[in-house]
Structures are given as structure tokens and as C-alpha cells.
Amino acid sequence: MLMALSAKNKIGFIDGSISAPAITQVATYSAWKRANDLVNSWILNSVSKDIAASLIYQSTAAEIWKDLEDRFQQHNGPRMFQLRKKLIDLAQGSMPVSTYYTQHKIIWDELCSVKPVCTCSNCTCSGVQKMIDEQGKEQVLQFLMGLNDSFSHIRGQILLMDPLPSITKVFSLVIQEENQRIIKIDALVPEATFAVRTNIPSSYSKKKSRPQCSHCNLMGHTKEKCYRLHGFPPGYRTRQPVARSNAVSNDSSVINSQFQQPLQSQQPSQSQQSSQNQEGLSTQQCQQLIAMLTNKLNAASISETPSTTINLAMQGPLSSDWEG
């Protein structure tokens, strides 16, 4: 706000240096009132609506500024404590060096603004300049403390310099170190990519296409190895999948018929025994019936094993042929 008022040459309206002229001086008073109302509107538009409502009935800009100053001006002690704490807690972390430096400088400049500085220019022992130099060293040390440990090498080199460089020079050295690391990383990325590509196993390469014979147009061999052109080797047998499937189907049907005959012969005896059991069986007859059923079940399970194995082995696209 002070910067804007200074740019418009209106600071005198809030510090009281430009007071109101007498009402009798019509031209001068009219010009002063227009300028005073302009400053009042700037201030009222810069605060919240609630605060502006409490200031609207004050006539001069100096009165409005004095009211705001009495209400909201803080002592330097609490504000300095807040800024010091923020400065100590500030660390680079995952921020780039430029972002970290910007945040550090904002806090440091505000901290310097609340510190009392001698401006009398009557010092003859260079005490003011020494105090400014000490503040610059403190700022450099505070900036180096917040850097990541990855910058420990350049930080050690800066601390060994005598005298200690300014904060702008320190920032320049650190940002150069960061740029060199970025260049090294960019140079290593293509090398790592090339190494990964060269280490790809051969199993990931494209499979070779199967050869095709130009004589018989069959896949799996070339013309130089075609048996139909050069003759079959002795003892060579052609594949007969149809005959083989028929033979296996016949074997399966024979086994199934042998397995079904004893089961069909057992059904009348089991039904007769169950009807006799319902009419009333003695204990001895029940034991004999249980023993006989156990033996027949064991025999049926033994004879069922090969048929089940064959039926399971024949599951596939032609499973309906095996089921008869």
C-alpha cells in the first residue's frame, strides 16, 4: 500500500505532512479534498468489507491510516519470532535450488525489514557496515544449513572460502552444481537404455517363420528335404490318425461293454436283496449280504479304472466319437 501511495505521490495524506487547507481557500481546499477522497477510496478498497464499514465515516486519510495502525500494528518481537522459526524450519527437501532460494530470500528480507537499522550516516567507525556484513554471513550460513546432504561437497568448499562470499554468489555456485548433475543424469539415461536393450534375452526376439516346401506346399520343411521329391527313408511310416482313432474307439467300446455286463447282471440280485431286506432279514443274512456287496463293489472299482482312464484320455475335439 505504501508503495502504491508513494508512486502516486500521496504519502503525505496518510502521514499528516499534507494537511487540510482552510475552507476559505476554495481552489486549494477543493484540490486537497479530491486527492484525500481518492486516497480514502484506495484504502477502503484494500481492506475487507467489515473493516471498511468501520472506517467509512472518518473524514481524512490520515485518520483512517492511524486507526488501522493502532488496530493491527504488531510489535517486532512476536513477528521476529515467527520469521525466525520459519527460517529455521525451512529446508530444501524435494524443491529445486531456485525455489528453495526464493522462499529463503522472502523470509530473510521480511526479517530484515522488522529489525532496527541505523540510518543516521554519522558513524565514523564503520560499525554499520560491519553489522550489514555480519547479517550477510548469517544469511549465507542459514541458506547452506537448509540444503540437502547431496550438496555437502560444494557446501564444504564455500565454507572454506575466506572471506565468505555473498548470498548471490553462493546461490550461483550451488545452482551450477545442480545443473552439472542434471547434465550427467541426461548423459547416463541413453547409456542405460542401450544396456537394457542389449541385455534382452533371445527368447524375446521374434520367432522365425516355419519353412514351406515349394514342391509339395507343406509346412515344416524345405524343397531340399522333401521326402516326396527325394524319396522316403527306409522304415518310414505315414501317420494314420483316422485308423488309430477307430482302433482306440473299438477298444473303448469293448471295455465299456465288458464293464456294463457285470453291472447289469448285478442289478436284479441287488433289487431282490433290497426287497428281502425290507421284508425282514436276520443278523447273519445281513452280514452275508454286506460282505457280498463289498466284494462286488471292490471288483467293480478294479474293472472301472482302465475304462475311466481311457475315457479321460480321449477328451478333446473328437470326444463325441469316443462316447459312441
Domain count within the chain: 3
- AA letter at 319: S
Using a 10 angstrom Cβ sphere, with 0-12 exposed, 13-18 middle and 19 or more buried, the burial of residue 62 is: buried
Give the mean pLDDT of 86-106.
Answer: 93
87 and 102 both lie in a single domain: yes
Q: Which of the given ranges, 149-158, 270-279, 292-301, 313-322, has the highest pLDDT on average? A: 149-158
pLDDT averaged over every residue in the chain:
76
Q: Is the pTM here over 0.95, yes or no?
A: no
Q: Would you state the pLDDT for residue 161?
A: 92
Query: CA–CA distance from 317 to each of 162, 310, 314 (Å)?
Result: 89, 15, 9
Judge whether residue 324 has pLDDT over 70: no
Residue 28 forms part of a structural domain: yes
Q: What is the C-alpha to C-alpha distance for residues 210 and 198, in angstroms, rounded to an integer?
A: 26
Say if 233 falls within a structural domain: no
Same domain for 80 and 154, yes or no, is: yes
What 3 state SS string does 30-93 have? HHHHHHHHHHHHHHHHHCCHHHHHHHCCCCCHHHHHHHHHHHHCCCHHHHHHHHHHHHHHCCCC
> Domain for residue 264, yes or no?
yes
Over residues 179-207, the pLDDT tens digits come to: 988 887 766 555 555 555 555 555 545 55
> Are 108 and 131 members of one domain?
yes
User: Would you say residue 261 lies in a domain?
Assistant: yes
Mean pLDDT of 82-91: 92
Q: Are residues 153 and 251 in the same domain?
A: no
Is the domain of 60 the same as that of 98? Answer: no
Domain encompassing residue 80: 76-118+125-195
174 CB neighbour count, 10 Å cutoff:
22
Kindly state whether residue 228 falls inside one of the protein's structural domains: no
* Domain match, 188 and 90 both: yes
pLDDT in tens, 212-266: 888 888 887 887 888 777 777 777 776 655 444 444 445 445 444 544 444 444 4
Task: Indicate if the pLDDT at residue 152 is higher than 80.
Answer: yes
Q: Does any domain span residue 114? A: yes
Please tell me whether residues 19 and 93 are part of one structural domain: no
Fill in the amino acid letter for 239: R
**Domain membership flag for residue 306:** yes
The helix, strand and coil proportions of the chain, stated in percent and rounded to the nearest 5, come to 70, 0, 30
67 and 111 together in one domain: no
pLDDT reported for residue 213: 85
Is 204 a member of any domain? no
* Same domain, yes or no: 42 and 94: no
Q: DSSP characters for 110-163? A: HHHHHS--------SS-HHHHHHHHHHHHHHHHHHHTS-GGGHHHHHHHHT-SS
Query: Are the C-beta atoms of 236 and 227 separated by less than 8 Å?
Result: yes
Mean pLDDT along residues 82-103? 93
